[in-house]
Amino acid sequence: MIAIIPHVRAYSRSLTRMPAADDLAQDALAKSWKSRALYQPGTNLKAWVFTIMRNAFFSDQRRSWRIAPLDPTVAENTMVANDDPTWSEELLDVRNAMQLLPVEQREALILVGPAGLSYEETANICGCAIGTVKSRVSRARANLLAILEKKSAGQRLQSDIPASGAFNDIMAQADSLGSATPRDANQLEGGV
């Protein structure tokens, strides 16, 4: 197996970029060594290891889209349409409607939504049970929908920021709440 290491490294470089090539080669060699009992003597060892490496590489490629970190620029372009100015106005309405929610509901909705935290992480930050967070998020969504349905078509909710700043304001709130330290349940006013 030691004799084929240069060949494995060269093949890994052909599959992927330089920094990841050595990792791919090492993983393939480790998997080969771990599965050495499956190797059939008399067959091509290099081809066997190459097959393991190729399968590992393509499996990682298929999985990679699920674990890619969210790029803030991509998120901003996704949430605010550059070709339809009404979308930024609608996002501003959502932001303004969120400001009308009770603090506990708004906080839970922002942490679970734009901040992308799990219910468990949100519960730790809010200092309450996971069920309480789920309840707050559910009520926040229902209240948000009611507020948005209540406004007349074409009518804008009162705002203290321009439509172009709605996304940045929501994300700033998410960042500030997401970086908050866990609180004791007694610090929250109003309970559930």
Residue-wise pLDDT for 8-27, tens only, equals 888 888 787 667 788 888 88
pLDDT digits (tens, 9 = 90+) for 38-49: 989 898 988 889
Round to whole Å and give the CA distance between 6 and 181: 50
Instruction: Kindly tell me if the per-residue pLDDT of 173 is higher than 90.
Output: no
Q: Report the mean per-residue pLDDT for the chain.
A: 78
Given this model, what pLDDT does residue 84 score? 64
- Our count of domains for the chain comes to 2
| Residue predicted with more confidence, 164 or 49 | 49
pLDDT digits (tens, 9 = 90+) for 68-109: 566 667 666 665 445 566 777 788 888 888 888 998 998 888
Contacts of 176 (CB under 8 A, 6+ apart): none
Structural domain of residue 167, as residue ranges? Answer: 72-187
Considering the domain architecture, whether residues 97 and 183 belong to the same structural domain is answered as: yes
Asked if 192 and 132 touch (Cβ cutoff 8 Å), the reply is: yes
Domain contains 162: yes
Considering the domain architecture, whether residues 93 and 48 belong to the same structural domain is answered as: no
Considering the domain architecture, whether residues 61 and 89 belong to the same structural domain is answered as: no
- pLDDT (average), residues 151-160: 69
Considering the domain architecture, whether residues 141 and 52 belong to the same structural domain is answered as: no
Considering the domain architecture, whether residues 76 and 63 belong to the same structural domain is answered as: no
Considering the domain architecture, whether residues 53 and 93 belong to the same structural domain is answered as: no
| Residue predicted with more confidence, 121 or 63 | 121
Considering the domain architecture, whether residues 89 and 182 belong to the same structural domain is answered as: yes
Domain contains 81: yes
Instruction: Write a three-state SS string for 58-99.
Output: HHHHHHHHHHCCCCHHHHHHHHCCCCCHHHHHHHHHHHHHHH
pTM assigned to the model: 0.48
Q: What is the CATH number of the domain that holds 89?
A: 1.10.10.10
Given this model, what pLDDT does residue 68 score? 56
Q: What is the CATH number of the domain that holds 29?
A: 1.10.1740
Range among 3-7, 148-152, 170-174 with highest mean pLDDT value:
3-7
Considering the domain architecture, whether residues 114 and 168 belong to the same structural domain is answered as: yes
Domain boundary among 14, 32, 67: 67
Instruction: Kindly tell me if the per-residue pLDDT of 141 is higher than 90.
Output: yes
Considering the domain architecture, whether residues 53 and 89 belong to the same structural domain is answered as: no
Given this model, what pLDDT does residue 75 score? 64
Domain contains 44: yes
Domain boundary among 67, 83, 101: 67
Q: Helices 119-126 and 130-150 sit at what angle, rounded to 10 degrees?
A: 100
| Residue predicted with more confidence, 178 or 127 | 127
Domain contains 102: yes
Q: How confident is the model at residue 139 (pLDDT cuts 50, 70, 90)?
A: very high
Considering the domain architecture, whether residues 129 and 170 belong to the same structural domain is answered as: yes
Domain boundary among 18, 38, 67: 67
Given this model, what pLDDT does residue 187 score? 42
Considering the domain architecture, whether residues 61 and 85 belong to the same structural domain is answered as: no
Instruction: Kindly tell me if the per-residue pLDDT of 131 is higher than 70.
Output: yes
Domain contains 192: no
| Residue predicted with more confidence, 145 or 65 | 145
Considering the domain architecture, whether residues 59 and 134 belong to the same structural domain is answered as: no
Given this model, what pLDDT does residue 170 score? 80
